């Protein structure tokens, strides 16, 4: 497939690109606590620059400590910060790519514990996702902030960047003035749309004065906020016209604020390209370039959006976390070699816990540590287990020059990931699994399916290195009546024929796996009851996924029994206990247990003491997720 529009050049004033793919600003938490650029950050952006992106937009960067969004946010509040950016900018330029810096003030979407001072906003109204009430900014304070944006923009230019993006989206300070959801002022900065836009317009004018007439200025907007009383597309159309008249050179059209729920980072439940209509609506209003964003994970969709005139440039965010080389691969027609983003939002979950990582790409954030290099000498390597961890370990070891044999007891590769792709909207995991299998084949790995590896086989073959990726087994806790109840494991429920499961089903265990299994069974037309001992279902999923999945289950009529503990099981019934005491749930045709998993370490235990150079990875080591399995797989393969 050719992609003529996607790989045509474009320019925003002096900012010239060789293709229409933009890396949008995405927080990483890779900065130092002082807000300085780190070597880890440089390696991360350099990988994307080398991958052929049109231009890179650096993650949101604070103009003042007062507007710091997180403890490890990049900052431009001093000349020292500017100097640290020079190294990043030079690195990206060395790869032949332009770089834009986004400047921001978090406003009410931060905390005084982060900023060290009271948080501020247009009105003393707390963000619904936070408890802290901001101080209302005075006209004098607004004037000071206008100047702070201008100074930061001047530093962007002085550091050698190719453009500046002013963050007016996502509920942060400038967006919060634009939106009636957060702005209830009665002075010249509130009320009418013209008044609400006054502060952002003043910032744009001051930034223009600071950087001069030819330096590209991009404004990022939320086309819709998807909250009651928030910005809607008709507002944003007018705002776009105002900003164009005031000298903005391009508009980057996103959506949402912190209170917008799952649409903040559209997960796999949401249609691809969900915000493209917003970009198209803005493009119809203005004559300056418009950049689209929002779950555009495939080059084919980006090409179609450009061909249909919906936007001039396409931001591909999580897709570039998954594969920094997506642009080069797409340009060469190697679409099947692209690591597919699965829209699982583990990047968001890991960001909130520490630093951004990617489920499908262990090298994200580990660009130097997990860089694949040739082995010192080829070795005979066995990888046991054909799930995602085993597939990744085999591929990387083979790429390093080892003679690799992958053995799996199943007729098909994939392990439990084949089951993970069964629930509604999770077909994207099948895409990733197919990618892993293709990479193993391309690397020249010898694959042996239908082989149950034993300690005796390993002793006889004597491979120089062994990686055990034998996965996990469903947990079978000591529940009275379990064996006689005929309860199915999640694996059995997802893998077995649907007609084998009767009309009324009880699912015990409402974590992410149990909730998705309930969703799957409900889609089959079953009447499902879900029992969970915690106060909410899907508690282990990132907030956006949890929010959407919970709403989906409720809307489909799944009975959610939270704060409910399983006491005993029997054929078609369960004894549970909640705040009202014990009660018996009866009349079920099938019972499904989603109570976690345990490592399948039987082979590891059997070969202990044989003197093998053995590495145990993934669920065989500890039952967790795909992301951990892939990281450990790459680590193991690099250590051979």
Helix, strand or coil, per DSSP, at residue 91 = helix
Model confidence over 411-428: pLDDT tens digits? 999 999 999 999 999 999
pLDDT of the residue at 609:
85
**Res. 59: pLDDT tops 80:** yes
Mean pLDDT value of segment 323-347: 98
Model confidence over 253-303: pLDDT tens digits? 999 999 999 999 999 999 999 999 999 999 999 999 999 999 999 999 999
pLDDT of the residue at 610:
87
pLDDT of the residue at 498:
85
Query: What DSSP line would sit under 370-435, residue for residue?
Result: T-----SS--EEEEE--SHHHHHHHHHHHHTT-EEEEEESSSSS-TTHHHHT-STT-THHHHHHHH
Model confidence over 178-190: pLDDT tens digits? 999 999 999 999 9
> Which of these, 138, 136, 154, 141, lies nearest to 206 by C-alpha position?
154
Distance separating alpha carbons of residues 224 and 379, to the nearest angstrom = 56
Model confidence over 99-108: pLDDT tens digits? 999 999 999 9
Residues 6+ apart with CB under 8 A from 192: none
pLDDT of the residue at 195:
99
Are residues 276 and 311 in contact, defined by beta-carbon separation less than 8 angstroms?
Answer: yes
How would residue 173 be classed by pLDDT, with cut points 50, 70 and 90? very high
Model confidence over 190-206: pLDDT tens digits? 999 999 999 999 999 99
pLDDT of the residue at 84:
96
pLDDT of the residue at 611:
86
pLDDT of the residue at 544:
83
pLDDT of the residue at 497:
87
Q: Which domains does the chain have, with CATH numbers?
A: 10-353 (3.20.20.70), 380-474+598-638 (3.40.50.720), 482-595 (3.50.50.60)
How would residue 391 be classed by pLDDT, with cut points 50, 70 and 90? very high
Phi, psi for residue 579 in degrees, rounded to 5? -65, -20
Distance separating alpha carbons of residues 100 and 375, to the nearest angstrom = 38
Model confidence over 516-549: pLDDT tens digits? 999 999 999 999 999 999 999 999 998 889 989 9
Give the active site residues.
172
pLDDT of the residue at 476:
86
Mean pLDDT value of segment 436-465: 96
pLDDT of the residue at 162:
99
pLDDT of the residue at 403:
98
Mean pLDDT value of segment 456-460: 94
Mean pLDDT value of segment 156-177: 99
Query: Whole-prediction pTM value?
Result: 0.96
Mean pLDDT value of segment 555-580: 97
């Amino acid at each position: 497939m050719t992609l003529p529009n996607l790989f045509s050049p474009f320019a925003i004033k002096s900012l010239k690109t060789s293709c229409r793919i933009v890396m949008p600003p995405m927080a990483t938490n890779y900065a130092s606590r002082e807000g300085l650029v780190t070597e880890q950050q440089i390696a991360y952006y350099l990988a994307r620059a080398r991958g052929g992106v049109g231009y890179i937009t650096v993650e949101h960067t604070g103009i003042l400590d007062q507007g710091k969004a997180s403890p490890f946010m990049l900052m431009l509040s001093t000349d020292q910060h500017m100097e640290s950016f020079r190294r990043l900018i030079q690195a990206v330029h060395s790869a032949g790519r332009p770089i834009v810096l986004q400047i921001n003030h978090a406003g009410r979407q931060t905390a005084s514990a982060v900023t060290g001072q009271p948080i501020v906003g247009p009105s003393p109204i707390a963000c619904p996702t936070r408890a802290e009430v901001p101080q209302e900014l005075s006209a004098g304070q607004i004037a000071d902030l206008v100047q702070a944006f201008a100074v930061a923009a001047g530093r962007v230019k002085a550091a050698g960047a190719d453009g500046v993006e002013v963050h007016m989206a996502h509920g942060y300070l400038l967006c919060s003035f634009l939106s009636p959801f957060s702005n209830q002022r009665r002075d010249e900065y509130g009320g009418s749309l013209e008044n609400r836009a006054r502060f952002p317009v003043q910032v744009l004018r001051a930034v223009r004065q600071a950087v001069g007439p030819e330096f590209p200025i991009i404004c990022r907007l939320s086309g819709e906020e998807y909250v009651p009383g928030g910005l809607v597309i008709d507002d944003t159309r007018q705002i776009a016209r105002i900003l164009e008249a005031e000298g903005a050179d391009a508009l980057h059209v996103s959506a949402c604020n912190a209170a917008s729920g799952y649409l903040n980072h559209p997960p796999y439940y949401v249609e691809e390209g969900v915000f493209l209509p917003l970009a198209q609506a803005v493009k119809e209003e203005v004559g300056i370039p418009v950049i689209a964003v929002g779950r555009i994970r495939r080059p084919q969709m980006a090409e179609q959006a450009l061909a249909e005139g919906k936007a001039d440039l396409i931001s591909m965010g999580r897709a570039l976390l998954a594969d920094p080389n997506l642009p080069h691969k797409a340009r060469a027609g190697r679409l099947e070699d692209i690591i597919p983003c699965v829209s699982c939002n583990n990047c968001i979950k890991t960001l909130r816990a520490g630093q951004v990582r990617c489920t499908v790409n262990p090298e994200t954030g580990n660009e130097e540590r997990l860089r694949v290099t040739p082995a010192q000498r080829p070795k005979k390597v066995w990888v046991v287990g054909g799930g995602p961890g085993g597939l990744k370990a085999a591929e990387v070891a083979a790429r390093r020059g080892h003679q690799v044999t992958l053995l799996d007891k199943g007729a098909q590769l994939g392990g439990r990931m084949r089951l993970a792709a069964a629930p509604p909207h999770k077909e994207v995991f099948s895409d990733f699994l197919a990618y892993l299998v293709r990479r193993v084949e391309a690397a020249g790995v010898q694959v042996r399916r239908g082989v149950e590896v034993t300690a005796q086989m390993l002793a006889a073959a004597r491979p120089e290195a062994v990686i055990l990726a034998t996965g996990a087994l469903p947990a079978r806790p000591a529940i009275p009546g379990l064996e006689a109840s005929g309860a199915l494991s999640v694996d059995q429920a997802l893998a077995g024929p649907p007609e084998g499961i009767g009309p009324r089903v009880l699912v015990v265990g409402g974590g992410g796996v149990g909730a998705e299994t309930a969703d799957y069974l409900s889609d089959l037309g079953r009447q499902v009851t879900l029992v969970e001992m915690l106060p909410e279902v899907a508690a282990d999923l990132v907030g956006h996924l949890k929010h959407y999945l919970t709403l989906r289950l409720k809307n489909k009529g799944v009975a959610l029994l939270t704060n409910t503990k399983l006491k005993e099981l029997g054929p078609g019934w369960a004894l549970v206990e909640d705040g009202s005491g014990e009660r018996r749930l009866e009349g079920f045709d099938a019972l499904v247990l989603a109570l976690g998993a345990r490592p399948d370490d039987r082979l590891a235990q059997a070969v202990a003491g044989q003197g093998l150079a053995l590495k145990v990875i993934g669920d065989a080591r500890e039952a967790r997720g795909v992301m951990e399995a892939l990281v450990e797989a790459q680590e193991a393969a690099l250590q051979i």
